Amino acid sequence: MFRLRRPATAAALALAAVATAVLGLAGPASAHVTVNPKEATQGGYGRFAFRVPNESDTASTTKVEVFLPEEAPVGSVSTMPVPGWTVQAEKRKVDPPIDVHGSQLTEAVAKLTFTAASGGGVKPGEFQEFPVSMGPLPQVDQMVFKVIQTYSDGNVSRWIEVPTPGKEEPENPAPVLKLTAASPSASPAANGAANASPAASGGDDDSDGSAGTALGVAGLVAGLAGLVLGGLAFLRTRREPTPKS
């Protein structure tokens, strides 16, 4: 009996180690600032949420600065109140002016600064979303929003690296909003409604991706468990004495 328990114990420990490694690798992959939804339509309006996770074990996130791309200005930018936070918008001159429904705008929002109230902020193990409405979205393939995240202990995370398609994701990637051309029959109002829906649901793209990752990990762990149990059954069969006739 003692000899049969040793392989079982070793197999169980091996399975636990593999499961821990798999789950550990699956978790931190999305632990950076993102914009949700990640795709929208050129010329439309949309409600977007900048999702900011807190990566510190000891400090809270107390300030988030979102820089709008200079090469792709947006005529209308408005924010939604976030409890416990204040927001300040900084504008800049644009040349040539931005055409918004026949009006020529010479200024555009350059930066949004969200600041937590004293003693507040995004605590360790939590995340916060900062909703922003924007439009009409520029006629470009993508918008890159560089973000600076400041912690209560003075540390700063700079999410400013531009991801390159086909290459490995940088260590500190900036949030990227992909923009696609509108269909000839689509109106700007329709585009805005379509873009607003995914963000209103809290960024379903990330939720679906997380669920798919969790299911894949669970399947892998279940498969490993099956292999271990099969091996134990084989060892037990070999160790049992052959009945005498």
User: How does pLDDT run across 228-237, given as a tens digit for each residue?
Assistant: 555 555 555 5
Q: Binning pLDDT at 50, 70 and 90, where does residue 194 land?
A: very low
H, E, C per residue of 207-231: HHHHHHHHHHHHHHHHHHHHHHHHH
Instruction: Yes or no: say if 149 and 66 are a contact pair by the CB < 8 Å rule.
Output: no
Q: Binning pLDDT at 50, 70 and 90, where does residue 82 land?
A: very high
Q: Binning pLDDT at 50, 70 and 90, where does residue 102 land?
A: confident
Predicted local confidence at residue 231, as pLDDT: 54
Instruction: For each of the domains in the chain, give its residue range(s) and CATH number, in order of start.
Output: 1-30+203-245 (no CATH), 31-202 (2.60.40.2230)
Neighbours of 202 (CB within 10 A): 13
Q: Is the pLDDT of residue 86 over 90?
A: yes
| pTM summary value | 0.66
Q: Cβ-count burial of 239 within 10 angstroms (0-12 exposed, 13-18 middle, 19+ buried)?
A: exposed
Q: Is the pLDDT of residue 9 over 60?
A: no
Q: Cβ-count burial of 213 within 10 angstroms (0-12 exposed, 13-18 middle, 19+ buried)?
A: middle
User: How does pLDDT run across 138-163, given as a tens digit for each residue?
Assistant: 999 999 999 999 999 999 999 999 98
Average pLDDT for 63-73: 96
CA-to-CA distance for 47 and 132, rounded, in angstroms? 6
The closest of 39, 15, 24 to 137, measured between CA atoms, is 39
Give me the DSSP letters along 229-242. Answer: HHHHHHHHHHHSPP
CA-to-CA distance for 145 and 70, rounded, in angstroms? 10
